[in-house]
Structures are given as structure tokens and as C-alpha cells.
Structure 1
Amino acid sequence: MPATSMALVLLLTLVTLLVMEPDFGQTMLILTVWGALFFIAGMRMIWVFGLAGAAGAGLFGAYLLVPHVAGRIKRFMNPASGDTFQVDTAMEAFWNGGWFGLGPGEGIAKRSLPDSHTDFVFAVAAEEFGIILCLMLVALFGFIVIRTLTRAYATEDMFSRFAASGLAILFGVQATINMAVNLQLIPAKGMTLPFISYGGSSFVSLAYGVGMMLALTRQRPRT
């Protein structure tokens, strides 16, 4: 199909540019959103398994050919094999904060934790405001994603449905990756926490994306 071929060409072009950067975190994010949209559109399961296999092969190739990627995966699988200061400090911040936190400005992890205002802001928030706040953030992100997907599936316009679904999945996966890195569930990668991490360009792009989600899923008056 022409549309499928065009989508594949655009995807490969974007992925090539990201790999040349190199930025494998954004590459994984884009591939996940693209695959999810094709699945929503009714892609056959054989394509799902095929694309998952291709993604796995690409990750294995990056592990073999890119020292930066190999180092992060090795440190994740075997912390004793390298420097794990960032993730160790992040986990200490969670333990120090407990359920209710040490109080605003009372955290100590941000003094020594690299990227404490961007990649590891979730750990800083946990230390100062507690796990309760972190659970509230998770619930808020989940509500935004689920609400958007529900409203997207309720619309009859296919463009609005797929566009809103893609934006919601992008928003949710980005938040999930950031929080998972802070909790040492996946290897570290540069990914901001939506609307929480410091960064003007990140904030503007996320605000634009959420605005588009609202516009695409709003209830239009019947005429």
C-alpha cells in the first residue's frame, strides 16, 4: 500500500538521523510509537512479531557496535562492571525520602547527582516530597494517557483518532522511560519527565503535543 510504504520511508529516514546523532533513547521512543500506531490501525500479528524481531536485532547490533550503548547495558546487567553513581544515588534518594519526603529543598541527592534537574528529577522529587507524590504523578500521567485514548477511540474521524493516540502514547512512553530509569528498571538514557524536568524546548514541545491532544479529542457540537 502506498501509505504504508510512505510511512516506512519516513520512519527509516527519521531513525537513520537519530542513530547518526546518536540518540538511541529517542530512536526507541519513535519506534515504539510507530509500532503502536500500526497495531492500532489493524496491522497483522506477523508484522508485529517481525518488527519486534527487527527492533531486537537493531538493539543487539547497537550493543555490539556502539561502545556507549554496550557500556550502559553492561552496567545495568552487572553494576559491578562500571560506574553506576547516577542510578545508585537516585535509588538512595527514594530510600531517603520515604513515603512523605524530607521537605521542599531539604533533599541532598540534587547536590551531587548529575542531571538531577532533567533525567533524574523524579528521584529528587521522591526525596523531597515522598513516594506519595511520585504515585500521584504516575496516576496523573496514566489519567492523561487513558483519557486521551478513550476519547480518541470515541471519535469517528480516523485522522483525529490516530493522531491523538500517537501523541498520547508518545507522552506516556516518555514518562514511563524516565521513571523506569530512575527506579533502575531499565538502562539509563537521556529522557525528560514531561512538564517536570527542566528544559525550555522540552516544555514547549510537550505543551504543543498536549494542546493537540485536547484539540483532537474535544467534543464538537452536533449540527
Structure 2
Amino acid sequence: AMVALVLVQQPDFGQLTLITIVFAAIFFLAGLSWFWIAGMAGLAIAGGYSAYRMVPHVTSRVDRFLDPASGDTYQIERALEAFRAGGLFGRGPGEGVVKRVLPDAHTDFIFAVAAEEYGVIVGLLILGLFGFIVIRTLLRVQEEHDLFVQLAASGLIVLIGIQALINIAVNVNLLPAKGMTLPFISYGGSSLIAVALALGMLLALTRRRAGGALHHRTYTKRAYA
């Protein structure tokens, strides 16, 4: 609740959406009743509608997404142009042209720049790598017997995966602009540090503890000797 309050005060509804999805995923994995999950979803929808009605920049972004003729869509038009210009195999490293006129090309729309210079093939590869990391982590988490490790690791990987998915969806005009970076790829020190810390905690939670298992077996033998 405190995190949501801080994000609303900024206001940063993109990060609020991300955090809400992460907490919903954790509650779902923890076995929370569908009744409460549906209630949370209803509150989220009500909050989103309130933001649309009361916050001017949210209204503008959603309206432009639903009806491009209602406002300035220069940014997303240039992003889509970058995809078309890159084709399957791209113009070549550093040869992108659209990035010169694309706002936030190095942060929010870095995926479009990568597609222009390296092609849609590399764009699909990036998407596949994020998907592999998320699926591999969730499969690894299933091997854990500690509920805290399961929920914490799942929350961290959902955070990274959903952030990447939202950024890519915005780049291809499947979602309204959110102002969200692409993990590990977008320029920005604070974003990179935050994602690196999240991944570091994830690795610490999911590492195989061979020594710990040996200590546990030794302790058990002594206890029953």
C-alpha cells in the first residue's frame, strides 16, 4: 500500500501497474482464494479507470492509443517505421536512421532501434531470451521446498519479465506508452542497477546449496544417533 501511494503521488502509473501485476502473481502462487484475486482485479480496474478520468497525461495516452487521429502519435509512428526499415536482418550495427528522430530512442524505444539495426530476427531473439529466462526460473523455483524462496523468486522474475513484455508491447503499439525501460538493454544507470540487484537476489535465492544439504544430512544423522 505504501509503495502504491508513493507511485500515485509522483504520479507513475506505469510502475504502479507493474507492481500490481507482480503482487497479484505472488498472491496467486501463494494459493489465495479466487474470490480475493477477483476483488483485487476489480480494484485494479477501478483504479485504472479513475486514473484515465482524472489524470490528464493518462487520458491523453489512452485516447491516442485507441484513436490515433485524436492526438500526436509521432513517437509510435517513428517506432513502427524503425521496424519496417529494419526488415528481417536490419540495416547493420550503428546504421539506424530512424533513431535520430525517435524520441527516447535509447530508453523506452530501444527495442525499435535494435530491430532497425539488427532486424526483426534479433528482436524475436530478444523476446525469446526473456521468455526463456522467465520459464527456466519458474521451473527451477518448483524444485524449492521453502515457500518464501518460491514466492520471492517468482515475484522477482515476474517483475523482470512483465517489465520487458510491457516495453516490447509499447514499441509495437500493443499498449499505450508507459515510460518503462527494457531490462538490461535500455540506457540508464538507475534502471540497470535496479534490475541487476533483482537478478542478483534471484540468483542467491535459486542457487543450489550442495553444502547446505550435506550439513542437513550430517545434522540429521547426529540427531538420531
Alignment of 1:9-88 (within 5 A): 12-88=1-77
- Mapped partners of 2:38, 2:172: distance in 1: 28
Report how many aligned residue pairs link the two structures. Answer: 212
Alignment of 1:161-180 (within 5 A): 161-180=150-169
- Mapped partners of 1:214, 1:146: distance in 2: 15
Q: Report the equivalent of 1:9.
A: none
Deviates further, 77-86 or 208-217: 208-217
Identity of aligned residues (%): 58
- Mapped partners of 1:34, 1:108: distance in 2: 40
Q: Report the equivalent of 2:89.
A: 100
> Given the alignment, which residue of 186, 202, 205 partners 2:191?
202
Flag as ranges the 4+ runs of structure 1 deviating above 4 A.
Answer: none
What is the RMSD of the two structures over their aligned residues, measured on CA atoms?
Answer: 0.7
Q: How much has 1:198 moved relative to structure 2?
A: 0.1
Q: How much has 1:110 moved relative to structure 2?
A: 1.0
How does the TM-score come out when normalised to structure 2?
A: 0.93
- Mapped partners of 1:59, 1:161: distance in 2: 29
Q: How much has 1:48 moved relative to structure 2?
A: 1.4
- Mapped partners of 1:99, 1:72: distance in 2: 30
Aligned residue for 1:74, secondary structure, equals helix
Task: Flag structure 1 segments of 5+ consecutive residues without an equivalent.
Answer: 1-11
> Given the alignment, which residue of 111, 120, 124 partners 1:131?
120
Aligned residue for 1:104, secondary structure, equals coil
How does the TM-score come out when normalised to structure 1?
A: 0.94
Question: Which is higher, the Rg of structure 1 or of structure 2?
Answer: 2
- Mapped partners of 1:31, 1:137: distance in 2: 25
Q: How much has 1:159 moved relative to structure 2?
A: 1.3
- Mapped partners of 1:133, 1:212: distance in 2: 28
- Mapped partners of 1:57, 1:201: distance in 2: 31
